[in-house]
């Protein structure tokens, strides 16, 4: 069978084909991530002006905002992959969900911690029970719940499937986080980056922010590919062990 | 449909005969709520302020108690396999079991809640809203809990895991229910909060059985 006959979605379901693709992409995303994060940190920490209201604290935003975006994007990707796993029985979909989950949890944690550090000087409190903070916290617990569930079964395949169902149920939280600041008039400021009339951020601050968002994204792609490759290797080792009658 | 009804009555009879299953959540609800005045002091205004939240949090934890056994026994003795093979859709099996679970855990909470409200000095305007919110909210708690029980079926340390998975999903119900009771206690209309709660009820009862049934199929594979 020629590769052209296989739909793109399934061409890389073959672990060997995926492994080749991943090892081709990996050096590029790793390099891009290092450069973007380096540049972003330089511009964010040194070569951008302090905010007229927030002062130097605005620099926390260059970590907080990308982490917040990634916390939601990663969950969205996990949900899409979980759905793909159910609909097309794609071989790598459930593994992707597992590979992405700790990263998503880490991004959510960074987002919460950075936001808290920013909130103390700006709002005068480490934590405020506003709608967006609460729903982001719930998202963090959804990630933790997934991570606990996936490892709780003796049969890894069963854990992956159970986790995929949980991810799909938890997806109701995503729109609540995204729109909480528009629906409820709470303390967290409304969106200033993705509005219908374009970004409402000054170019001198937009540059480091965009660099950091690019850096976070390429970092995620790099690590997720590495984790997927190691999951595939672990699966192969398990198969060999079973074949050798050790388990 | 009559098969689902038979299953519901069968489950109900089973749970009524195992009286510990019936008494444990209720006793927990009463005792945990009565810990509040002992913990924060008997000051009536403070208790009235805390009452909606405390009643709902303890109700929420009480429904968790009997959940891990919802499918466990049937899973272990193979009844669940037979139910999955029967012409009755697994979604309806879930609904019938959840209904039986609600009648034995949710409904008793509804009956005892006003008494506990009195002991916590709940504002007089809040009682009707407390009952309506429990009536709308506890079935969804049972439903989401059934999903949690289905998805953790066969897992190691299922009980603690169940709480970790289910509690974040309980958050919207808790928020809408307690803000409804709070609004009613202050003389405002609880209607908008109750309507939101009703929409959660309507959505939950329709959609969650599918997720729970998918999880059960995964467990039976």
Q: Output the pLDDT for position B145.
A: 92
Query: What was the pLDDT predicted at A1?
Result: 43
B167 at A interface, C-beta within 8 A: yes
Residue A10 predicted with pLDDT over 80:
no
Q: What does the pLDDT read at residue B115? A: 92
Please give the share of chain A, as a percent, with pLDDT higher than 70. Answer: 89
Whole-angstrom Cα distance, residue A101 to residue B155?
19
- The pLDDT value recorded for residue A4 is 54
Q: What is the pLDDT of residues B8-24, one digit of tens each?
A: 888 888 888 877 777 88
Looking at residue A143, what is its pLDDT? 94
Check CB contact under 8 Å for B156 and A153. yes
Q: What is the count of residue pairs from A and B with beta carbons less than 8 Å apart?
A: 59
Distance from CA of B154 to the nearest CA of A (A): 7
CA B128 to CA A158: how far, in whole Å?
A: 45
Assess whether pLDDT exceeds 80 at residue A198. no
Partner-chain contact B218 A161, CB within 8 Å: yes
Q: Nearest Cα to A226, choosing from A26, A31, A24?
A: A26
A15: confidence class by pLDDT, cuts 50, 70, 90: confident
Using CA atoms, how far apart are residues B127 and B114, in angstroms rounded to an integer?
A: 6
Cα(B166)–Cα(B61) distance, rounded to whole angstroms? 10
**B69-110, pLDDT tens digit by residue?**
788 888 888 888 888 888 889 999 999 999 998 998 889 999
Residues 6+ apart with CB under 8 A from B39: none
Beta carbons within 8 Å of B185's beta carbon, 6+ residues apart: B48, B52, B122, B123, B125, B126, B129
Contact B164 A145 (CB under 8 A): yes
Interface residue B161 vs chain A (CB under 8 A): yes
Q: What is the pTM of this model?
A: 0.87
**Residues B32-47 pLDDT 10s:** 998 988 998 888 889 9
pLDDT tens-place string over residues A151-170:
888 888 888 999 999 999 98
Instruction: Name the residue with tokens 């995926």.
Output: A18
CATH of domain A24-47+57-190+199-243: 1.20.120
Which residues, listed in sequence order, are joined to residue A55 by a DSSP beta bridge? A51
- Cα B200 to Cα A177, A233, B134, B207: the distances in Å are 17, 43, 13, 10
Q: Which residues contact B103 (CB under 8 A, 6 or more apart)?
A: B12
Residue A184 pLDDT level (bands cut at 50, 70, 90): low
Opening angle at CA A156, ends A150 and A160, nearest 5:
45
Tens digits of per-residue pLDDT, A78-110?
A: 999 999 988 888 878 889 999 999 999 999 999
Instruction: Determine the Cα–Cα distance for residues A207 and A246; give it in Å rounded to an integer.
Output: 55
Which three-class secondary structure state does DSSP give residue A51?
strand
Dihedral sign computed on CA atoms, order B89, B90, B95, B99: positive
Tokens 């439903």 locate to B143
Whether A186 shows a pLDDT value over 70: the answer reads no
Contact check, Cβ <8 Å, B155/A149:
yes
In the predicted structure, residue A191 carries a pLDDT above the cut 80: no
> Who among A141, A152, A154 is closest to B161 (CB)?
A152
**Where are chain A's structural domains?**
24-47+57-190+199-243
The top-scoring range by mean pLDDT among A5-9, A218-222, B216-220 is A218-222
What residue in A sits closest to B207 (Cα-Cα)? Answer: A169
Q: What is the pLDDT of residue A247?
A: 53
Among residues A71, A189, A69, the alpha carbon closest in space to that of A128 is found at: A189
- Comparing A181 with A60, the larger pLDDT belongs to A60
Nearest to A170 by CA among B164, B71, B195, B135: B164
Asked if residue A189 has pLDDT above 60, the reply is: yes
φ, ψ at A181 (rounded to 5°): -70, -20
The mean per-residue pLDDT over the stretch A13-36 comes to: 88
Predicted local distance difference test score (pLDDT) of residue A197:
67
> Which chain B residues are Cβ-neighbours of A177 within 8 angstroms?
none
Q: Give alpha helix (H) positions in B79-157.
A: 79-85, 90-101, 107-119, 126-151
Q: Which chain A residue has its CA at the smallest distance from B157's CA?
A: A152
**Which candidate from A142, A165, A170 shows the least CB-CB separation from B215?**
A165
Cα–Cα distance measured from residue A114 to residue A7, given in angstroms and rounded to the nearest whole number: 42
Question: d(Cα B101, Cα B146) in Å, to the nearest integer?
Answer: 9
Instruction: Give the pLDDT mean for A42-69.
Output: 85
Q: Strand, helix or coil at B219? A: helix
How far away is chain A from the Cα of B202, in angstroms, using its nearest Cα?
A: 15
pLDDT at A166: 92
Selected for mutation to probe chain A from B53, B146, B151 (highest A CB count within 10 Å) is B151
In three-state secondary structure terms, A55 is: strand
List the single best residue of A154, A165, A177 to mutate versus B (max B Cβ within 10 A): A165
pLDDT of A91: 77
Condensed to tens digits (0 to 9), the pLDDT of residues A102-132 reads 999 999 999 999 999 988 888 888 888 877 8
Say what the ipTM of the complex is: 0.85
Residue B127 pLDDT greater than 50, yes or no: yes
Question: How many angstroms separate the CA atoms of B204 and B213, rounded?
Answer: 14
Contact (Cβ atoms closer than 8 angstroms) between residue B76 and residue B198: no
HEC letters along B22-80: HHHHHHHHHHHHHHHHHHHCCCHHHHHHHHHHHHHHHHHHHHHHCHHHCCHHHHHCCHH
Least Cα separation, residue B131 to chain A (angstroms): 26
Mean pLDDT for B113-141 is 90
Tokens matching residue B221 = 């594979």
């Amino acid at each position: 069978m020629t590769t052209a006959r296989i739909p793109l979605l399934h061409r890389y379901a073959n672990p060997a084909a995926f492994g080749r693709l991943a090892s081709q992409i990996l050096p590029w995303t790793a390099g891009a991530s290092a450069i973007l994060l380096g540049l972003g940190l330089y511009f964010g920490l040194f070569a951008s002006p302090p905010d007229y209201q927030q002062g130097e604290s605005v620099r926390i935003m260059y970590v907080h905002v990308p982490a917040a975006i990634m916390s939601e994007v990663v969950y969205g990707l996990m949900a899409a992959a979980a759905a793909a796993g159910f609909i097309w029985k794609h071989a790598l979909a459930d593994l992707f969900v597992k590979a992405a989950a700790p990263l998503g949890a880490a991004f959510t944690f960074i987002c919460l911690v950075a936001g808290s550090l920013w909130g103390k000087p700006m709002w005068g409190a480490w934590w405020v029970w506003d709608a967006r903070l609460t729903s982001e916290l719930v998202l963090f617990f959804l990630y933790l719940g997934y991570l606990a569930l996936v490892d709780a079964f003796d049969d890894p395949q069963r854990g992956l499937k159970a986790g995929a169902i949980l991810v799909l149920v938890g997806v109701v939280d995503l729109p609540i986080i995204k729109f909480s600041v528009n629906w409820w008039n709470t303390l967290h400021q409304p969106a200033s980056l993705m509005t219908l009339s374009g970004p409402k951020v000054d170019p001198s601050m937009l540059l480091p922010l965009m660099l950091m968002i690019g850096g976070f994204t390429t970092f995620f792609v790099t690590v997720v590919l590495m984790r997927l490759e190691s999951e595939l290797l672990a699966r192969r080792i398990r198969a060999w062990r079973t074949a050798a009658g050790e388990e | 449909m009559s098969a689902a009804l038979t299953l519901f009555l069968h489950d109900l009879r089973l749970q009524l005969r195992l009286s510990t299953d019936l008494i444990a959540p209720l006793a927990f609800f009463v005792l945990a709520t009565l810990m509040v005045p002992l913990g924060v002091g008997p000051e009536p205004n403070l208790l009235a302020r805390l009452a909606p939240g405390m009643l709902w949090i303890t109700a929420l934890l009480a429904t968790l108690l009997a959940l891990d056994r919802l499918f466990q026994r049937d899973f272990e003795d193979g009844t669940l396999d037979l139910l999955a093979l029967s012409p009755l859709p697994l979604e309806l099996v879930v609904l019938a079991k959840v209904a039986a679970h609600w009648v034995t855990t949710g409904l008793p909470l509804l009956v005892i809640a006003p008494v506990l409200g009195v002991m916590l000095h709940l504002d007089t305007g809040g009682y009707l809203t407390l009952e309506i919110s429990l009536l709308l909210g506890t079935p969804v708690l049972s439903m989401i809990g059934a999903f949690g029980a289905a998805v953790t079926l066969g897992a190691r340390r299922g009980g603690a895991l169940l709480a970790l998975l289910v509690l974040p999903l309980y958050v919207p119900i808790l928020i809408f229910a307690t803000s409804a009771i709070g609004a009613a206690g202050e003389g405002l209309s609880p209607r908008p909060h109750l309507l939101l709660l009703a929409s959660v009820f309507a959505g939950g009862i329709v959609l969650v059985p599918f997720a729970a049934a998918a999880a059960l199929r995964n467990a039976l594979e």
